[in-house]
Structure 1
Amino acid sequence: MRKSIFILIGIILLISNASALSRSGYDWTHKSDIKSPGSSHWNPNDAYADSEKLQSNASVLRWSGYDWTLKSGIKGPGSNYWNPNNTYVDSDGKLHLEINYKDGHWNCAELDSVKNFKYGRYTWVVSSQSLNLDKNVVLGLFTYTDDDHEIDIESGQWGNSSSDHLHFTCQPDQTVTFVSPTSSYINATDVTYTFDWQPTYIYYTARASNGKIIANWYCTNKKDIPKVKAKVMMNLWLQHSIPPSNDKPVEVIISSFHWSSVKHKIHIQ
């Protein structure tokens, strides 16, 4: 009997010290104590599943199959206030970006991908009206490494109500504009925005819900086309921190984002 008790105690201690981590369908043991390589001290608490870390971080959001960090504090563009609470996913899986007045100032929204991306097709479907925002509001759908390596689709008037509303940009030097204030697409909903980023070109499109092309641009200036990995970003912000001209909150709803590394054939229209 005494021998059986000792065996049972040994089994319990072995299980409690195994420090196993379940990840991707397998169990992994944690290294502990002082061991090679490097005669380092190994702490099993320093290993964890990424999903658990993300779930415990209120400033990280899961959407469209990717993890996104939410901007906070006072930062550019526009020296705006950024509030993580202004970005959320509804019960239908749609992403909401909001600008609103709270705590004595206007708050904007931005989310940046945890993953780094490079060449491929980037596609957003914006279900709400996105081409006729307030003249002081900008919606950005883009990739960003730094100011010299940036691919932008931006909807905004930059404070000028008579300007075109849609901008395709390849930083640092090239921008083209589309969608005049009198365009028949000015109040379109369910617009699909896409750019194909390849080493020798970037092809931008905006398509109406009926498949008609609202705007497209074929950028072939190899000097400006980024050659480095970048974050995918989405933001809704105020030009120069100037409130909406009607002092009303703003909301943009994005149905989905998709990235494909497959090189697609392009059909310029």
Structure 2
Amino acid sequence: MSESVQSHVSEVSGAASAGTSVPRGRAKGEPRFPGGPQADPAGSHFERRIRSFQPRRSRVTAGQADALRRLWPVWGLDIDGQRVLDLAELFGNTRPVVLEIGFGMGEATAQMAADDPDTNILAVDVHTPGQGNLLNLADRNGLTNIRVGNGDAIILLREMLTPDSLDGLRVYFPDPWPKKRHHKRRLIQPEFLTLAATRLKPGAVLHCATDWEPYAEQMLDVLTAHPDYENTVPEGGFAPRPAFRPLTRFESQGLQKGHVVRDLLFRRIPHRDTDAGRG
């Protein structure tokens, strides 16, 4: 860890066991992790739209809680929609930035950050244990190219990122919302793709992966039809799993159940005249 990061990390007495759960001993209204991720960072600043995610505030281990308390002020970001981010300032360098939406427990994110230290990863999720686990992995492995975002990725894209600021976008195993009445909650929709295109640089790749076949087919349909993207597979269709995407525990479980995992890699095409004024 760099000296500048170390200067922000507080000393915590006692050893935190990664397998021990945090006791529920706080008073009503007291923050779960003072200085850590907020429960609803955007609050009432924006209209309540259909959410493509379900906030999960499940049990946090002592090791995850320790990481949240020490490292959130250094590597954490609450997505409140109240400011525009300077990504060079956020990461402390001008290296390419890839946004990852939904990282689970963070093992794959940490592996990709370690394998490609010259790329910065802004990883966004609403799962508190996962946030703590990823911070812990980054700290333990000296990965200074990770920042952890907490909140709605739509607000991040729309309100906090500038046009052409992202060098890539990763959406791995998003909630498939299998019931037909919930399909409107799926993240990969034409409106989301249009918004994402305004923040992706020309040539940047949107990489999706899912083990839910009907959702994979929908992703392929909407991406193929969208004028801002082109399939990196010349003949069209799904792509082989690229070597840089680690095989996750979640994915392994799906494969054991007979699920077929699909990867889609679509490139942001060069700007057209109709892009003027968007974003």
Q: Shorter-chain-normalised TM-score: which range?
A: under 0.3
Task: Give the structure with the larger strand fraction.
Answer: 1
TM-score, reference length from structure 1:
0.28
Structure with higher RCO (Cα < 8 A, 6+ apart):
1
Task: Give the structure with the larger helix fraction.
Answer: 2
Report which of the two structures shows the higher radius of gyration computed on alpha carbons: 1
